[in-house]
Amino acid sequence: MLKMGFSRNANSLTTLVLVLILSSTWGSAKGDRSGGFIRSEEEVKWLFEEWQVKHDKSYHDLGEKQMRFEIFKNNLQFIDEHNRPEHNHSSTVALNHFADLSNEEYRSIYLSPPMNMSELFHNFIPDLDLPTEVDQPQPQASIDWRDMGAVTQVKNQEGCASCWAFTAVATVEGINAIVTGDLISLSEQEIVDCDDLGTHCQPGYIQRAYDYIQRNMGIDTDANYPYTAQQDVCKADRNQEVTIDGYANAPRNNERALSMRVSRQPVGSAVDASGRNFQFYDGGIYRKACTTNVNHAVTIVGYDSEAGEDYWIIKNSYGDAWGEGGYMKLPRNVADRRGKCGIAMWPIYPTKRQNPKSS
């Protein structure tokens, strides 16, 4: 792939020098650049070509490619500036598969408008399993359901705005593994295709997916009903591989109670994911500014602390090239009861008491 920009007469020394330049500049996009250095236009063009190959990107014509290059260049400048050592940010940003999208395009494709959750949650189902706030014991110090066999691989919703289905499925996978001992990757595509009361590839609500799984008396596996990132015709030969009993809402605006629930199972919630820092998040504890106007569903798969700072472990649906292998560390126990980016406002989870196949 590196030969694309070289003359046929370039000698081996020149080739070696350019390869070394590309190697170092690609690393610098991940935060290794010393402050104050500005990339040349030629260097940015080389990085763009390398990025296209890495993420299998192609464009209709030279006009579109030039437009995407300008957006890429602007995003790269943002990343370089953010990662300068003197800023001492707690999180880093990096080039990922969103690098040729403006923040406005990213938000329009992947996020919903601010959700009117109160309208949908008029039938709030309380978490009767937890003690009252007064009686709650101190939550355990940390938990990570990935280490306990209750979290499948990170998945990618791609250009379909189906984060609500991915979060619902991730939490069902989690509770099923906890109850039955079997970790089974389940089908988001079935929900996208078959739930006529849902929103398919448009922004939606996690509980609508739970409602579908209950009405359908189960959900199929990802292997039998794989993801296509678009709404297709509902398959007639789907199986009811995994069932749930229902769902409930953890106490709102109460991170201590949320910690108690997450200590029992992965929990779905929603956050404000609209920031450019979120779009290009690469690692560390995400302290960047955000609102509580939630617009993106995520799964809380645990919590921990680092250097005295508490954080949630968030599983996203942007693939493993985003964040820390597809995960984010989001501050926990913050001053705002609604939680960082609104994470504590609308927590929801499926219920499952036993495995019907073994009863």
Is residue 316 annotated as part of the catalytic site, yes or no? yes
| DSSP per-residue string spanning 155-166 | -B-TTS--HHHH
Of the residues 82, 83, 290, 296, only one is catalytic, namely 296
User: In 10 A of CB 345, how many CB atoms?
Assistant: 21
What SS3 class is residue 250?
Answer: coil
Is residue 176 annotated as part of the catalytic site, yes or no? no
Is residue 163 annotated as part of the catalytic site, yes or no? yes
27 forms beta bridges with none
Burial 73-91 (b: 16+ CB within 10 A, else e): bebbebbbebbeeeeebbb
The residues, any chain, with a CB within 8 Å of residue 60's CB and separated by 6 or more, are none
Name the burial class of residue 136, with classes exposed (0-12), middle (13-18) and buried (19+) by CB atoms within 10 angstroms of its CB: middle
DSSP category for residue 152: -
Identity (one letter) of the amino acid at 251?
P
Of the residues 163, 194, 201, 341, only one is catalytic, namely 163
Judge contact between 151 and 157, C-beta under 8 A: no
Q: How far is CA 256 from the centre of its chain?
A: 23
Of the residues 75, 83, 316, 333, only one is catalytic, namely 316
What SS3 class is residue 242?
Answer: strand
- Rounded CA gap, 124 and 118, in Å? 9
Which active-site residues does the annotation give?
163, 296, 316
